[in-house]
A = this chain, B = another copy of it.
Amino acid sequence: MSDNLLPFPGNEPSDGLCAALEALLFASGGPVSSRNLAEALDVEHADVLGGLAALSRGYEDRGIELLEIAGGWQLRTRPEHAGAILKLMGQRPSRLSRAALEVLSVVAYKQPVTRSEVEQLRGVDSGGVMRTLLGRGLLRVAGRKAEPGRPLMYGTTRAFLEMFALSDLRDLPTLREREELEEDV
């Protein structure tokens, strides 16, 4: 490692160790111990410690900082940017949960379908998920079933079609089409 510990110096071609440490910390996300860093880079542990110190100094006045956390080192955004981050990420759509996707898939393919039919297939209580999906406008009540208790039946909505870029329920891929894709390997 070069004596010059400036993390990203102007006149040096590059401080390769700092760059490598940065890449490792960036990619790993969670805290990484200096020993693991040394092993991955195949350099002395002491060099890694020096490199981390240099890297840390280099992050002054930057959007991210290097912190020692839980026995490891981790890159994090500086607290002063939290507001902007929340604003940015808050606009970003959240993903539907696996449970929600399961319910949607059952309703989409078997509609009209009762809650207990959905639960039968999923093997878990699905009332909460179905309520959420009704609230989001992805499911709708599609009548009552002609059986004792006359349970409500559910179907998908226009918003559901839009979400999955379908113009029509008939556009849903079929199990046979799935099979056909599987046949040859």
Contacts and interface: CB of A to CB of B under 8 A. Distances in A.
A152 B171 CA distance: 8
Nearest to A75: B26
Nearest to A90: B40
Interface string A38-57: 01110000000000000000
A104 interface: no
A98 B1 CA distance: 40
B184 A125 contact: yes
Contacts of A170: 150
A46 to B, nearest CB: 18
Interface in A38-89: 39-41, 58, 60-64, 75, 77-78, 81, 84-85, 87-89
A75 B2 CA distance: 21
B127 A88 contact: no
B173 A81 contact: no
Determine the interface band of chain A, counting residues with CB < 8 A from chain B.
Answer: 35 or more
Contacts of A39: 87-88, 91
A61 B5 contact: yes
Interface string A159-180: 0000001010011010001101
B88 A28 contact: yes
Nearest to A11: B6
Contact of A88 (B2, B13, B27): B27
Interface in A123-181: 125-128, 130-131, 134, 141-144, 150, 152, 165, 167, 170-171, 173, 177-178, 180-181
A7 B9 CA distance: 8
Determine which residue in A115, A126, A177 has the highest number of CB atoms from chain B within 10 A of its CB, and name it. A177
